[in-house]
Amino acid sequence: MEIKGRVHCLFEQSGTFKNEFIKLGVHAEDYDIQNEFGQTDHIIDLFAEIEKGFVGVPSVFDGMTPDDLVMAFFPCIYFCENNALAMTTQHANYKNLAPKEMVWTILERSEHRQKFYGLLLKLVGIAMDRNLRLIIENPWSGAGYLKNNFITPPHLIDSNRALRGDSFRKPTAYWFFGCEPTMLETATPSKEVKRIASTASGEQAGVCSKDRSMISPDYARNFIHDFILGKPQVNTQLNLF
């Protein structure tokens, strides 16, 4: 894929992908409502911008063109495997709740999931309507909601991110709209592998914790070369599939 314009990293505040693109001479910017790393170029409520962009009123998407690339690290809180368990009576958090209180809790969670699923679909609709190239990232483990409910299967599943240098092994899916992934495989074993269960949870609906949303610079660099640019890196060894 050739990027003649800019890269817009949505829901990224760490600057990880942004900075790897910049190292390659590609102008990139981060968009997020948080700025804990001092890397967010546009501190903005992206959920509100998606709502505005979908109905055609002025939004952040007006500054994006088909020559650009949009990468969306969309919050996974209501799509992940743990959320599927939270939709049942078996969740540990419900053991001390009265029956009606438990049902109300599940209903509230279901409403949150529907809201964020709708926002994700609207983001895709915006990209398709404006001919934007869009890559969406989300976890792909267990009984994740998007496995059976998204509008298309993922175009790429990275089953073990640690093999490309990330701190997490967790399987991750990527959807490519208006573009297609290239297929190289650069092996960079992770120096440290962390467990999701040992990281902090998000403090509010739809906002991931800093720990859980982190991706290592090694992984970002390898992903960009392997699946976006399709260019082998200098002094690296490609594996055969």
pLDDT band of 6, cuts 50, 70, 90: very high
Sole residue written with tokens 């660099």: 221
Q: How far apart are CA 157 and CA 159, in angstroms?
A: 6
Inter-residue contact 14 to 214 (CB < 8 Å) = yes
At residue 198, the pLDDT reads 47
In eight-state DSSP terms, residue 159 is S
DSSP H or E segment with residue 28: strand 28-32
Q: Domains, the chain, ranges and CATH?
A: 7-186+206-229 (3.40.50)
Residue-wise pLDDT tens digits, 10-55:
999 999 999 999 999 999 999 999 999 999 999 999 999 999 999 9
What percentage of the chain reaches a pLDDT higher than 70? 86
- What is the CB neighbour count within 10 angstroms for residue 25? 7
Helix axes 99-130, 46-55, angle to 10 degrees: 60
At a CB cut-off of 8 Å and minimum separation 6, what does 188 contact? 163, 164, 165, 218, 219, 222, 236
Q: Can you read off the two tokens belonging to residue 34?
A: 């948080």
Task: Report which of 53, 106, 103, 63 is spatially closest to residue 84, judged by C-alpha positions.
Answer: 106
Residue-wise pLDDT tens digits, 129-173:
999 999 999 999 888 899 999 999 999 999 999 999 898 888 999
The whole model's pTM is what?
0.87
Radius of gyration for the alpha carbons in the chain, expressed in angstroms and rounded = 18
